[in-house]
């Protein structure tokens, strides 16, 4: 396949969205202008978040030895790995899309899939600053109850996801991780 076709295939959804946005701008100028304004704001937000994430990924890749990651978060890490995955996900800052490249580096370094799923689940639902805000706004009892349900749900989902991956899925995941 030619390089142009590969690029088109890779970015076809973005190009399709651009064409739709241009059509909206043409037929409904006020809404179209709002679409482009919001798109610009989102791009600026991502541009402010992504570079620090890549710096963090580079440091994680260089500073943390594979043996250390395997010891603390690998397949045989047990409750220690579970707790660490949860703690790292809960203490992390930033939007959820920042968790995925970090999870990929964790897998590349030898973390288990289950701990990677726990990390992403914790990142998405158990952020410490949000828990503190929630406790102040909705009450400590509600926060503890929601947190307990989240922990049970995250652990259950991580276990089920890990067990549901067949050999082909595992091979595809390994290939994707090796390319990153």
d(CA 97, CA 58): 17
On the question of pLDDT at 179 being above 80, the answer is: no
pLDDT at residue 40 tops 70: yes
Has residue 159 got a pLDDT over 70?
Answer: yes
Give the pLDDT confidence score for residue 8 in this predicted structure.
Answer: 84
Distance separating alpha carbons of residues 152 and 147, to the nearest angstrom:
9
Q: What percent of the chain has pLDDT over 90?
A: 50
What pLDDT sits at residue 180?
67
Specify whether the CB–CB gap between 121 and 162 falls below 8 A.
Answer: no
In the chain, domain spans: 1-48, 64-179
Average pLDDT over residues 115-125: 94
């Amino acid at each position: 396949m030619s390089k142009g076709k590969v690029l088109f295939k890779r970015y076809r959804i973005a190009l399709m969205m651009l064409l739709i946005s241009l059509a909206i701008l043409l037929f409904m100028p006020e809404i179209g202008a709002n679409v482009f304004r919001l798109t610009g704001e989102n791009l600026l937000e991502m541009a402010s978040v992504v570079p620090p994430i890549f710096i963090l990924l580079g440091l994680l890749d260089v500073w943390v030895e594979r043996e250390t990651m395997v010891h603390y978060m690998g397949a045989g890490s047990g409750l220690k790995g579970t707790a660490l995955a949860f703690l790292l996900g809960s203490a992390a800052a930033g939007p959820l899309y920042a968790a995925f490249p970090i999870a990929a580096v964790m897998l590349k370094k030898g973390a288990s899939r289950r701990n990677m799923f726990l990390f992403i689940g914790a990142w998405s639902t158990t952020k410490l600053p949000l828990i503190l805000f929630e406790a102040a706004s909705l009450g400590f009892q509600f926060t503890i109850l929601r947190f307990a349900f989240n922990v049970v749900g995250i652990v259950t989902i991580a276990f089920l996801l890990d067990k549901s991956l067949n050999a082909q899925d595992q091979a595809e995941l390994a290939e994707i991780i090796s390319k990153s």
